[in-house]
Amino acid sequence: METAEQLRSADQGQDLFKIHGTHHVELYVGNAKQAAYYYRRALGFRITGYLGPETGVKDRASYLVEQGKIRFVLTTALHPDSPIAAHVHEHGDGVRDIALQVENAEEAYRITTERGARGVMEPVETSDHFGTIKTATIATYGDTVHSFVERGSYSGFFLPNFEPREDNLSTPCGLKHVDHIVGNVDWNKMEETVNFYANVFGFTKFVSFDDKDISTEYSALRSTVVANENKWVKFPINEPAEGLKRSQIEEYVNFYKGAGVQHIAMESENILETIAKMRANGVEFINVPHSYYDELAKRMSEISESIEELKALNILVDFDDKGYMLQIFTKPIEDRPTLFFEIIQRRGGESFGKGNFKALFEAIERDQAARGNL
């Protein structure tokens, strides 16, 4: 049984400035037009906005795709000397910015930088005829950043310079919101990264796993979760641990060329329907052996889904003292074995799937072995 154990006593649960939640996640990609097509046709997102030369921004093209409350911005460079192109060259497609909506961007920037965060962009105002948005940006692990977005009385649909787009191409897959965003960091960097979130944001460390929890025969890792006061923002941080062979976190760091976002977990309103649709759309998921469901059958009285359906779609179940959660991981969504998505549905359970780590990570290892990286 896993409980939401509080590991830290000082400053517990006290955001140092007001955070409303995740505003959007921006990915830097090699070809945003084609990436947007994948997010629409495979994952059920709608394009709702666009920014580029046609809207007065000359160096990039960005597509805003949305599903439920999830907002991703897919951005690509239009010139080789762009920092966006450099990011893609180094990391492949990946998450650049986990943007947080705050009450006051200037205050968020001042507090975080005074407490040791590296500033990337000082507070700046951008305006269009819908009003003014204030943003500022700080660095976190690797080349990943957090922008602070203060919307104030801005009445536009997203951010200045984005023009709205209509999209009738995609059918939604039932995704509602981001549940958590996981960062992978290098050997012995987890503590430092977790302390960064505790010291700079006032986040609480609330669950911790060590290599005894998350070790299969081979790919061990350690993980600690940090979360803000209302737990709308949850960031598990992983680091590699010694195993018999190479840790999956080490494989990520080797291919991403440093720390970065490993996966984004998105909650579905009905995971059975979501996964059936995504599989029909061609999304690839990791394969868990059918023997997993023999164990699960012993607890079937505790869940409302049919084991046969879960088995057919390869969805896993984890229990805690509050209920249970259903989950599945996609395969990496680009050719480097880096970023993937997790689809989850919570039925009371607050866990991150600790009870499934062995089954999930053995499945990941089989793919890792097939790539020759184990």
Instruction: Specify the DSSP element, H or E, that contains 343.
Output: strand 340-347
> Between 320 and 342, whose beta carbon lies closer to Fe ion?
342
Residue 119 CB, shortest distance to Fe ion, in Å, is 30
* Nearest residue to 374 (alpha-carbon basis) of 236, 222, 256, 254: 254
Alpha carbon 254 to chain centroid distance?
19
Q: From 107-115, 127-135, 335-343, 363-371, give the range in contact with Fe ion by CB under 5 A.
A: 335-343
Residue 173 is encoded by which pair of tokens? 């897959």
Q: How far apart are CA 305 and CA 326, in angstroms?
A: 10
Q: From 52-60, 109-117, 209-217, 338-346, give the range in contact with Fe ion by CB under 5 A.
A: 338-346
Q: From 4-12, 187-195, 202-210, 339-347, give the range in contact with Fe ion by CB under 5 A.
A: 339-347
360 is a site residue for Fe ion (CB under 5 A):
no
Residue 342 CB, shortest distance to Fe ion, in Å, is 5
| Of the candidate residues 265, 266, 328, 363, the single one contacting Fe ion (CB under 5 A) | 265
Q: How far apart are CA 344 and CA 214, in angstroms?
A: 19
207 is a site residue for Fe ion (CB under 5 A):
no
Residue 141 CB, shortest distance to Fe ion, in Å, is 16
Q: How far apart are CA 6 and CA 362, in angstroms?
A: 29
Decide if 23 contacts 99 (C-beta within 8 A): yes
Give the single-character DSSP code of 348: B
Residue 175 is encoded by which pair of tokens? 């995704």
Q: From 188-196, 308-316, 340-348, 363-371, give the range in contact with Fe ion by CB under 5 A.
A: 340-348
> Between 97 and 342, whose beta carbon lies closer to Fe ion?
342
Decide if 296 contacts 307 (C-beta within 8 A): yes
Q: From 78-86, 99-107, 300-308, 341-349, give the range in contact with Fe ion by CB under 5 A.
A: 341-349
Q: How far apart are CA 222 and CA 289, in angstroms?
A: 24
> Between 100 and 265, whose beta carbon lies closer to Fe ion?
265
Residue 283 is encoded by which pair of tokens? 């999304």
> Between 318 and 342, whose beta carbon lies closer to Fe ion?
342
Residue 145 is encoded by which pair of tokens? 């950043």
342 is a site residue for Fe ion (CB under 5 A):
yes
> Between 150 and 367, whose beta carbon lies closer to Fe ion?
367
Residues 237-256 close enough to bind Fe ion by CB under 5 A:
none
DSSP-derived pairing of the beta strands 340-347 and 323-329: antiparallel
> Between 334 and 342, whose beta carbon lies closer to Fe ion?
342
Q: How far apart are CA 108 and CA 287, in angstroms?
A: 42
> Between 342 and 365, whose beta carbon lies closer to Fe ion?
342
> Which position has the token pair 């949305």?
66
Q: From 41-49, 124-132, 264-272, 366-374, give the range in contact with Fe ion by CB under 5 A.
A: 264-272
Decide if 184 contacts 136 (C-beta within 8 A): no
The answer for residues whose C-beta is within 8 angstroms of residue 138's C-beta and 6 or more apart is 109, 112, 113, 117, 118, 119, 120, 145, 146, 148, 200
> Between 66 and 342, whose beta carbon lies closer to Fe ion?
342
What number of chain residues touch Fe ion (CB under 5 A)?
2
Residue 158 CB, shortest distance to Fe ion, in Å, is 27
> Between 175 and 265, whose beta carbon lies closer to Fe ion?
265
Q: Where along the sequence are the contacts to Fe ion (CB under 5 A)?
A: 265, 342
